Amino acid sequence: MSYRFLHPWLGDGLLTSKGSKWHRNRRLLTPAFHFEILKPYVKLFSESTNVLIDNWSRVPDESSVELFDHVSLLTLDSMLKCSLGYHSNCQTDGQSTPYIKAVFELSRLVIERIQFFPYHFDFIYNLSPSGRRFRQQCDIVHMISEHLIRERKKALQDGEAKEDNTKKRKKYLDFLDILLQAKDEDGTGLTDAEIRDEVDTFLFEGHDTTASGISWTLYYLAKHPEYQDRCRREGGTLLQGRTEMTWEDLSQLPFTTMCIKESLRIRPPVPSYSRQITKTLTFPDGKTLPEGSLVTAGAIYSHHNPLIWPDPEVYDPLRFSPERSKDRHHHAFIPFSAGPRNCIGQNFAMNEMKVAVALILQRFRLQLDETKPAPFFVQQLILRAKDGIWIKLTPNN
């Protein structure tokens, strides 16, 4: 993927920046993903998942739902709460608010630009209807982000916790709080533009990728009811009827975690990563890649390498049991990339996936809708299903 297509939207956030700027901002943002910051988010993940469950409880019997549409709104709902302290009601109102509409439209327009080669040229794209639409949607997202940042800065300067969206005072630090308070060694903080770029990047990177992970996990559990039942028993034993999960619960779902990881192996949300070689790379056979070369690391290919993963198309969560994982190379499984530029929010994402999968399985039994075509994956910005993933829901007794 050409990251420059994202630059007008995401600016110089962690995804698109490089060099000393990336190093500085990565260092400043790392505290935002410390486990003490992540702990209260589990309650927010539970709240958002329970809204989805309530929506699904109203689906008529024998009907099916398309997972990506619903789960994308679930994860966006969570991301807005955790990043901006913003309660959007997007799961009940759909894409009716300008901000939600703009985020979805920008994702669609970036995919369109990648797929239509003439749009790779800036002068053509800027003159096209899609290019004009892209700029309009960027303006909407930036305007709303900047407004929220200004309001939060004012609240911090006034020394009081701002009430968000007429909700009661929040009991947690969100991503925006961390960004506004971040300082480097000489006491310099992030500029308003840098904060906006990081907030927009966090929303972009976090909601659709996690939605993909949850959706494919639910698909594979519907396809393999024996694993689904085992996850349900594990969650039921832990929760004992509770509808809200806690931080301590997350480590008590070993089999559910294995199922999520196996889904991420077969269908990694980000199927490949682009990198630029910073110094000449010499392979064991003597061949070299010169400095400056662009390379693509394909998680979807390494995850299906039969030398590492026997019968790679078989869904087998026990691949991730401690006994079978202990001798595996740590770069054999890279759904969150690897190395210094790995995903800074991978623990955040795994936590949200565990909460969503565990709570959904306590309320519903999932079955594939055999009247719909089997989902065929397509590589866009994230890994999606060409005609969606359709699941029938049966309430648990």
What is the rounded CA–CA span in Å between residue 129 and residue 200? 23
The answer to whether residue 175 sits within a structural domain is: yes
65, β-bridge pairs: 391
Annotated binding site: 343
Residue with tokens 């913003």: 86
Q: Are β-strands 383-385 and 288-289 bridged in parallel, bridged antiparallel, or unpaired?
A: unpaired
The answer to whether residue 328 sits within a structural domain is: yes
What is the rounded CA–CA span in Å between residue 263 and residue 215? 9
The per-type count for the chain, helices as H runs and strands as E runs, is 16, 9
Which residues are CB-neighbours of 195 under 8 A, at least 6 positions away? 149, 176, 179, 180
How confident is the model at residue 162, as a pLDDT? 47
Annotated binding site for heme: 343
Instruction: Work out the number of other CB atoms within 10 angstroms of the CB of residue 56.
Output: 16
The answer to whether residue 183 sits within a structural domain is: yes
CATH number of the domain encompassing residue 36: 1.10.630.10
Number of domains in the chain: 1
For the chain (397 residues), the mean pLDDT of every run of 10, in chain order, is 84 90 93 93 97 95 89 92 86 78 86 91 97 96 88 77 48 88 89 92 88 97 98 98 97 99 96 87 93 88 95 98 93 93 94 99 96 82 85 91
Provide the token pair at 20: 């000393």
Phi–psi pair at 395, nearest 5 degrees: -60, 140
Regarding pTM above 0.75, the answer is: yes
Q: Please say whether the beta carbons of 335 and 299 come within 8 A.
A: yes
Provide the token pair at 51: 């809204």
The boundaries of the domain holding residue 97 are 3-274+301-395
The answer to whether residue 132 sits within a structural domain is: yes
The answer to whether residue 221 sits within a structural domain is: yes
The answer to whether residue 285 sits within a structural domain is: no
What is the rounded CA–CA span in Å between residue 70 and residue 53? 10
Q: What is the four-CA torsion angle of 191, 197, 201, 203, rounded to 10 degrees?
A: 90
How confident is the model at residue 160, as a pLDDT? 54
How confident is the model at residue 95, as a pLDDT? 65
> Hey, is 233 helix, strand or coil?
helix
How confident is the model at residue 148, as a pLDDT? 84
The answer to whether residue 21 sits within a structural domain is: yes
The answer to whether residue 248 sits within a structural domain is: yes
How confident is the model at residue 295, as a pLDDT? 87
How confident is the model at residue 170, as a pLDDT? 60
